[in-house]
Amino acid sequence: MNHRIAIAGASGRMGRMLIESVHEASDCTLAGALDQAHSPGIGLDASGFLGHASGVNISADLREGLQGSQVLIDFTRPEGTMVHLALCRELGVKMVIGTTGFSEAQKVEIAAASQHIAIMMAPNMSVGVNVTLKLLQMAAKTLSEGYDIEVIEAHHRHKVDAPSGTALKMGEVMAEAMGRDLKQCAVYERYGHTGERDPSSIGFATIRGGDIVGDHTVLFAGIGERIEITHKSSSRSTYAQGSLRAVRFLAGKTSGLFDMFDVLNLR
């Protein structure tokens, strides 16, 4: 099967990594490359940076860019993804969404669109991160009493949302496993006289600096021992490979909202 793929944010770091991965995959073809009108890449061949021509130019015209595509891979910003979502729904183009920072209202809109097109949405497409989420689910069930849970994440200086979507997903998975609601138990800021730690809370610490691709550590701190589960990304290629696995998974789907647990059969 040949998967015809469009890439959003084609001139960016993640966009380029996706284009390279599509180029290297024997069962995938680049069918469209999208970017904002002010991007310096507009009009250039999307694969030019790899030293060969794909015949697909980077375009700001969404309709044109999606015309021959079966699926759009989107790692951009929430406002951009919502514009893409409306057109993908209209054209019947499936979506793989790696964008983070959506509001609750935007998530509802994505779920509504998934009744018409198949969508795989995950804050992190890395296979390793999703296996880590499964480990955290298991750990949280067993360590829900007597252990304080803290999530520490570090990313590059250009990341605009905090905590990372992956850190929040980790919190959600653990809270759900313990029968808690993350909205009620998350602590995102500590400053000044905070009082003693609430044992039912899940704390988050955010680090931003340099070119860190993405590090996440969950600390289960008990009395006399602590357990740390850590995942470190050294390359965005893991996200790109996970995205292509998602594309293949969606091939047999016409509608529905899925995540990487579905793609990797981790349910």
Give the residue numbers marked as catalytic: 155, 159
The rounded distance, in Å, linking the Cα atoms of 188 and 196 is 15
Give the pair of three-digit tokens for residue 56.
Answer: 């697909």
180 DSSP 8-state letter: -
- Which residues partner with 220 through β-bridges? 149, 227
CA angle 151, 231, 120 (to 5 degrees): 90
- Give the contacts of 178 (CB within 8 A, at least 6 positions apart): 140, 141, 144
The rounded distance, in Å, linking the Cα atoms of 14 and 76 is 9
Bridging pattern class, strands 226-233 and 214-221: antiparallel
Report the interhelical angle of 78-91 vs 104-113 (nearest 10°): 20
